[in-house]
A and B are shown apart, each in its own frame.
Chain A
Amino acid sequence: MSVIDDLASEFTRLPGIGRKTAYRLTHYLLKIPPEEACRLARAIEAMAERVRRCSICNNLSESDPCEFCTNPTRDRTVICVVEEASDIAAIDGSGGYRGLYHVLGGCLSPLDGIGPEELNVDSLLARLNGEVREVIIATNPSVEGEATATYLHRAIGSRGVQVTRLARGLPVGGDLEYADGVTIAQALSGRRGM
């Protein structure tokens, strides 16, 4: 197998990239100056080596604990629970939230065999010490996200912490990651108790 085929086959492992696109990307990289291609390779390498999971909130970060968990200006009485680390950028970018985060790593899915044990639920419950007063559940507005919120509400239950859910208005079945900042900020300020 040539190095060209090699790289193309690596590309086909990425989400949404078929054989044709993989070869298009490979040939693009062959056309640009070699130092540009190397810069891309170094960026991937650095990311793979340096980015890790925060041991408190499971966010992806170069430091452990991550920049949210260590930032003294964040409100430590609120935790916003999201499905994926990529949702944090969308929520934080909305400007409507200054608390902490917790990344579940997915949502409950019977067909995929994903139960609470497969998600970062225990580490969330362990964070509910005296300081935390509210948990905002910001799972996606989908049936799976709803079921996950239902489960978390029950699991957090009687710990003396208020559990809220983002207000409706986010498009059902959509992906939080792609919602715009204004919509997210509205959903945050209109959150309701579960």
Chain B
Amino acid sequence: MGLVSTPATVLKTYEYSETSKILRLLTRDHGLCSAIAKGARRPRSRFGGLLEPFSDGVATFYVKEGRELHTLSGFELRRERQALGRELVRYAGAGLLTEIALRFASSEPDRELFEQLGRSLDRLVAQNGAVETAVLEETWRLIVRLGFAPALDPCSGCGRSPAPDETTHFDLVGGGIICDGCRRESAALSLKALAPRARTELALLVAGAADATVLETIRFQRNLLRDFIAYHLADHRPLNSFHFLEQRLG
């Protein structure tokens, strides 16, 4: 394929040898990929300061058929997001978004996923107040974009829409709600009770409509998101960043 150029977000960097870095990139045109930036750790490298986590730019690299690791030949910075390091909840949230992209994006290009990640990181930089709500909402946006949207209506057992004041249950493995009647008949073990208020606020978050709302059930939403990712997406392996986020929020 030869030399390609594509918009890219730096998800993670690893030190490699004395002087180089290996980058994990989410690219617009080549999906998730890895590239080696030779000499990037030298102080006067032409890559100096560009290859930082959360940065956006146009990456140019050589693609060799059948090779996993490409060689970066240039990176033209479009947007740095160093400010994320100046506040720890934002930093933790940005870590969570990039870890989700690293774990669940594929090498198939997904333009909308790429653009969503960029918008989500921008929001974490700019968000004024209600940072935790923003982190949860942007995380749901990525999850929905990755195709793991939870089914909040109707009940996945009987197909009935629950009444607004009805307490339902969230099935972490199945990824949707179950009404009380169906719960008694099902053997699902991974259920979490979902009070009416929690269901309303979860729907706001998943729809991306929470904005700067101060959520009444924010602690519940945080735990539900953590468990949903662990059970439904991550094969029961929780994400490191989520643990980090929880510690920062206390």
Do the two chains belong together in a single complex?
A: yes
Interfacial residues, chain A to chain B (CB-CB below 8 A):
15-16, 108-113, 115, 141-147, 149-151, 170-175, 178-180, 183
A112: chain B residues within 8 A (beta carbon): 240
Is the CB of B85 closer than 8 A to any CB of chain A? Answer: yes
Is the CB of B74 closer than 8 A to any CB of chain A? Answer: no
A-B CB contact pairs (8 Å), 6 listed: A108-B88, A150-B86, A170-B43, A172-B82, A174-B49, A183-B43
Are A171 and B17 in contact, with the CB atoms below 8 A? no
A115: chain B residues within 8 A (beta carbon): 243-244, 247
Q: If the complex has contacts A16-B18, A110-B91, A111-B240, are A173 and B51 also in contact, measured as CB distance less than 8 A?
A: yes
A109: chain B residues within 8 A (beta carbon): 95
Is the CB of B241 closer than 8 A to any CB of chain A? Answer: yes
Q: How far is the CA of A112 from the CA of B247 in the complex (A)?
A: 14
Q: How far is the CA of A57 from the CA of B15 in the complex (A)?
A: 25
Are B43 and A180 in contact, with the CB atoms below 8 A? yes
A142: chain B residues within 8 A (beta carbon): 52, 85
Are A147 and B91 in contact, with the CB atoms below 8 A? yes
Q: How far is the CA of A111 from the CA of B81 in the complex (A)?
A: 17
Are B48 and A146 in contact, with the CB atoms below 8 A? no
A146: chain B residues within 8 A (beta carbon): 82, 85-86
Q: How far is the CA of A109 from the CA of B95 in the complex (A)?
A: 8
Interface size on B, residues (CB 8 A): 41
Q: How far is the CA of A151 from the CA of B87 in the complex (A)?
A: 8
Which residue of chain A has its CB nearest to the CB of B94? A110
Q: How far is the CA of A15 from the CA of B19 in the complex (A)?
A: 11
A150: chain B residues within 8 A (beta carbon): 85-88, 91
Are A143 and B82 in contact, with the CB atoms below 8 A? yes
Identify A173's interface contact among B48, B99, B247, CB under 8 A: B48
A80 → chain B closest CB, angstroms: 19
Q: If the complex has contacts A110-B244, A111-B95, A171-B48, are A143 and B54 also in contact, measured as CB distance less than 8 A?
A: yes
A179: chain B residues within 8 A (beta carbon): 43
A16: chain B residues within 8 A (beta carbon): 16-18, 20
Which residue of chain B has its CB nearest to the CB of A139? B85
Lowest 7 A-B CB distances belong to which pairs?
A: A110-B95, A16-B17, A146-B85, A172-B49, A113-B240, A110-B241, A110-B244
Q: If the complex has contacts A144-B53, A150-B86, are A178 and B41 also in contact, measured as CB distance less than 8 A?
A: yes
A40 → chain B closest CB, angstroms: 19
